[in-house]
Structure 1
Amino acid sequence: MTRTMIVTGAASGIGKATAELLRERGDTVIGVDLRDADVTADLSTAEGRASLIEQVREASGGRIDGILAIAGLAAPIPATVAVNFFGMVATLEGLRPLLSGSEAPRAVGIASMASLHPHDDELVALLTAGDEPGALARAEVLAGDPSTGHLIYASTKKAFAQWVRRAAPGEDWAGAGIPLNAIAPGVIVTPMTAPLLETEEGREQIRAGVPMPLNGFAEAIVPAHLLAWLVSEENTHLCGQVIFVDGGSDAVIRGDSTW
């Protein structure tokens, strides 16, 4: 039976590769992005998030089978906070009611192996508290200092990964029969990362922070295959998992310290 999937960030990178893969396997995909998508919406604003929900409801007829919240930013700017955490959570929570008519509802979001990198404790606490004005203000401070701007991205990914862990076992998700999980990619070759990978110097710098001993940097289709399985009918019991598809970065950085 054809399943209806919502893919944010569908115009490029991991989102585009995932949308194409899902369509190839026979799913109906409603792509969401700022442009060149079935639904256009700006996830950095409350108005844009509300528009996303309404447009998807109309386009889907009020019933969907999977949510793939992929849209994100990597720039050291406050908008990264708005999209990567508040936009991601709003997408998942706002579209969740549309999963109620599905026989096999699924949801997944994008964290990152950068969640293991240095972060800003104050920003993470504000994100966890759901304080968007406070988080944006803190991000403004971090962005204003070249030595701290990079903490914004890692902080959003850490906070989102923790949100998934806390939300997934609850009544709204597991209690409603909806597996909610996240993936944590390593370095993926996309338009977003292309400028960083243009030179050998840049690639070496990236490898220093993101060691990927298994096959190196990955193409977007690699996380796309994992995402496609996570929203498939076969995935019945993964709950609150943050799955690292990172060529070994997590294993190198954390070793056995997670036990």
Structure 2
Amino acid sequence: MRTIVVTGSASGIGRATQQILHDHGNRVIGVDRHDADLRADLSTLAGRGELADAVTARTNGQIDGVVANAGVAGETPDVVTVNFFGAVATLERLRPLLERSATPRAVVTASMASLLPSDAELVDLCLAGDEPAAVVRATRLVDAGQGGLLYPSSKVALCRWVRRAAAGPRWAGAGIPLNAIAPGVVETPMVAPMIDTPQKRQALAAMVPMPLHGFMTPETPARLLAWLVGVENSHLCGQVVFVDGGSDVVLRGDSTW
């Protein structure tokens, strides 16, 4: 039996992923701020440390997979501290536990929002690992009425971090496939306020065109996450896999970058 950690497991994609992995015979340790096997606030340094300590204690220091799925939306600095710094800390702090597995796998939930307008300064601060400065920049963007840039910026940074880290000695060199998924609009509690009227649904559909079946349920990206942390995935490395109903194709055409 393989042991897999799933963050953001209380609802949405995380909850669906946990259920699929459990149904496939895995031992799953769910992590969230509430209603989870382990409770941790990934927006804080203390919470990230508590996560790593608790997982280590529960598993005798060995796990087989990490699904760094926890994320938030909105226009507050938590979007950056959770979506980027919390996700990266989850992966980095649990990586030593993966190294002890015969079939280690890691995946993070990014977003097709990485294709939308973002703030280059905020992205660079995230990739530099300067969380205090990133929070200051995020706060300034909100104060300037540009809070809508926080979410895509956090996901741009996350995708770039995966691309930069995955082929290096700490991941590929240690035999650990590291990848990301980029979902389109998923009907989760996080997204519910954005689509709770026909007008809002139409506006979001215009921003995120999904010609193949439209908005999706959490089970769709969850099945992809489950495969990416499964033993069958031996050679995907540093990929950002868009599961988005075609929004990537519509927005970028035949460009692969």
Q: TM-score scaled to structure 2, two decimals?
A: 0.99
| Residue of structure 1 equivalent to 2:49 | 50
Amino acid at match of 1:40: R
Contact 2:44 2:81 in 1 (8 A): yes
| Residue of structure 1 equivalent to 2:25 | 26
Amino acid at match of 1:190: T
Superposition CA RMSD, Å: 0.7
| Residue of structure 2 equivalent to 1:138 | 137
**TM-superposition CA deviations, 1:218-259 (whole Å, max 9, x none):** 000000000000000000000000000000000000011226
| Residue of structure 2 equivalent to 1:236 | 234
Q: Which runs of 4+ in 1 moved over 6 A?
A: none
Paired residues for 1:78-227 under 5 Å: 78-146=77-145, 148-227=146-225
Residues paired across the two proteins, number: 257
| Residue of structure 2 equivalent to 1:63 | 62
SS of 2:147's partner is coil
Shift in Å, 1:91: 0.2
Question: d(CA) in 2 for partners of 1:81 and 1:253?
Answer: 24
**TM-superposition CA deviations, 1:169-210 (whole Å, max 9, x none):** 000000000000000000000001112112110111001110
Shift in Å, 1:129: 0.7
SS of 2:96's partner is helix
Shift in Å, 1:31: 0.4
Amino acid at match of 1:114: A
Shift in Å, 1:145: 2.8
Contact 2:109 2:180 in 1 (8 A): yes
| Residue of structure 2 equivalent to 1:250 | 248
Question: d(CA) in 2 for partners of 1:61 and 1:12?
Answer: 27
Contact 2:99 2:176 in 1 (8 A): no
Amino acid at match of 2:187: V
Question: d(CA) in 1 for partners of 2:133 and 2:100?
Answer: 36
Moved more, 175-184 or 197-206: 197-206
Contact 2:9 2:32 in 1 (8 A): yes
SS of 1:76's partner is coil
**TM-superposition CA deviations, 1:101-149 (whole Å, max 9, x none):** 2111000001100000000111011111111000000000111233x10
Question: d(CA) in 2 for partners of 1:99 and 1:164?
Answer: 16
Question: d(CA) in 1 for partners of 2:59 and 2:36?
Answer: 14
| Residue of structure 1 equivalent to 2:8 | 9
Amino acid at match of 1:42: D
Question: d(CA) in 1 for partners of 2:154 and 2:236?
Answer: 23
Amino acid at match of 1:252: V
Unaligned runs of 5+ in 2: none
Amino acid at match of 2:234: T
Unaligned runs of 5+ in 1: none
SS of 2:220's partner is helix
SS of 1:189's partner is coil
Question: d(CA) in 1 for partners of 2:244 and 2:73?
Answer: 17
Identity of aligned residues (%): 60
Question: d(CA) in 1 for partners of 2:95 and 2:179?
Answer: 13
